Amino acid sequence: MTQNVMPLSEIGRTERKMMATRAAAQIPSLPGAQVQWDVLPGDDVKPFTPEQVKEILMSLQKPAVFCNMAFDWPALHWNVTCLAKLLSGKRILFRIGRKDIDTAPLFETECSYAEATLEEFLAWSGGQPSCSCGPFIAYDLCKYWTYADYKYIAMLFEDKPENFQDMRWSDFGFPERNGRESTLWIGSAGANTPCHLDSYGCNLVLQVQGRKRWHLYPPEDSSFLYPTRIPYEESSVFSRVNVINPDLKSCPQFTKAKAHVVTLEPGQVLFVPRHWWHYVESIDPITVSINSWIELDADHEARIEEAITRTLICAIKSAESPSASDSWLNPTEVEVTSHETNLQYINGAVSAYLEHQKASKIEHKDHGSHGTNEISQGPCKRRKVQVNEEPEDFKSISCESNLTVVKTKKLETIPFGQNLFQILPQTWEVNSRGIAENNCKELLNENDGCFGKLHHAEKTPEIISDSGTLVDPGCSASSPQAVISTNDLLDCVLNPQVISLMAQLLLERASV
């Protein structure tokens, strides 16, 4: 079997299958769990079989919420009190941000960080004496939120693998998937993830404790969300819009975006389709959720696009003057990789794609094509850096080049009802907290650009004229109000549409 160099999206997904299991009856019901779900007493029949759910997932083109599909999962007892006992004082990295509402997104590069136990988090979120709050003592609960986000359960419970079975993604048609392929999120009120899309796969999210509000936007609205790769992390394309409090003068096209908003309740499972943008915020004092990214056949091409993006941003930002450096690398990224390493990733991703296409043509010869959203069994979402984790050897990572596609038929009619409801779009005014329509129109007429504000330079001693000579901007009445920066250039060069075109051109060249 051919081996190819792989991007960070594949790290940590090749562990051998866990052998130890435990029955749900052996899971103790800990005090204070306060689990909520919609199933009626005595009703232990799930509305859909695993095969039916798989068909639904294959057919869904918009986000939807499943009800009564996880009421018997032991993971529904995983509130913070339960987790604090299970993890026995283990220190976890929390991201900390202010609750102030700004017009710009609060990226991870702008947050504070602290390692703390869940006992300390509970004391702080419950307003207990500061002596029991540990590192949170410096943060006023009224002014700050904390978020233990993106915590891989395989790492948190590496010494307790029996807990992996508390997540039963087999109910959704994935018999081999459990906690080992899942991620844990624990936050206080206001904790949020900036609006972004995931380059790989689709997403299933189980809400365990508290409620979270999701703002989702379809892929076709990407240009209205002003995509950027700064801060950079593999597999995430961020939006430069604060979707809760947008700066319409800088991002006027955002008024055209169609928000699909839903409040996810405990016991419900949200399906996020491929490339849907999402902003997520905790609205209760404590929230816990568990998710799993599901691999798709289209991820083969996405790996090429991510490899191209990494190569370009590392090359351009590394060439920038050190005095002009900014926090462009997300804290979740291990390092800036060399040009040689990045080219190695591009070649590996292209080779893997071509091999997969060749295998698919043979496999589908008598069955026809199933499209780019086929669900696959294999690695997907990149693994972010965790507490006390040693950086991986970036050059030595390899993976199998082909994924096994799970063939499922698409439904002509999706059975929406009380156990499965779709998330419908809202008007922009409702999503943006009632900003008047006439104000939006004024701003649209004032600035209808696609890339928003340019980054102002503190000092711009010279610019290049049409003739190619250097001129003093202060000597020209027609000089621009701002100078195009490296980040402005990257927002254009690394635009998802541009990168997709580059990937297609590379594949054409490699296929000759």
- Give residue 327's pLDDT: 85
Strand residue runs (E) in 354-500:
375-377, 398-400, 404-406, 420-422, 425-426, 463-464, 470-471
Contacts of 503-510 spanning 24+ positions with Cβ under 8 A: 503/301, 503/304, 503/305, 503/308, 506/304, 506/308, 506/346, 506/350, 507/301, 507/304, 507/350, 507/353, 507/354, 510/350, 510/351, 510/354
* Cβ 271 vs Cβ 60: under 8 Å: yes
* Cβ 301 vs Cβ 503: under 8 Å: yes
- Give residue 461's pLDDT: 44
* Cβ 24 vs Cβ 44: under 8 Å: no
Question: What is the H or E stretch that residue 87 is in?
Answer: helix 80-87
In degrees, to the nearest 5, what angle opens at C-alpha 439 toward C-alphas 437 and 442?
115
What are the counts of helices (DSSP H) followed by strands (DSSP E) for the chain? Answer: 10, 22
For domain 1-6+50-451+497-512, give the fold.
Jelly Rolls (2.60.120)
Is 195 buried (19+), middle (13-18) or exposed (0-12) by CB count in 10 A? buried
* Cβ 384 vs Cβ 332: under 8 Å: yes
- Give residue 387's pLDDT: 58
Token pair listed for 403: 């994924």
Tell me how far apart the alpha carbons of residues 234 and 127 are, in angstroms, rounded to a whole number.
Answer: 37
> What are 214-232's pLDDT values in tens digits?
999 999 999 999 999 999 9
**What is the longest distance spanned by two Cα atoms in the chain?**
81
Under-70 pLDDT residues of the chain:
1-43, 323-325, 364-373, 376-409, 427-482
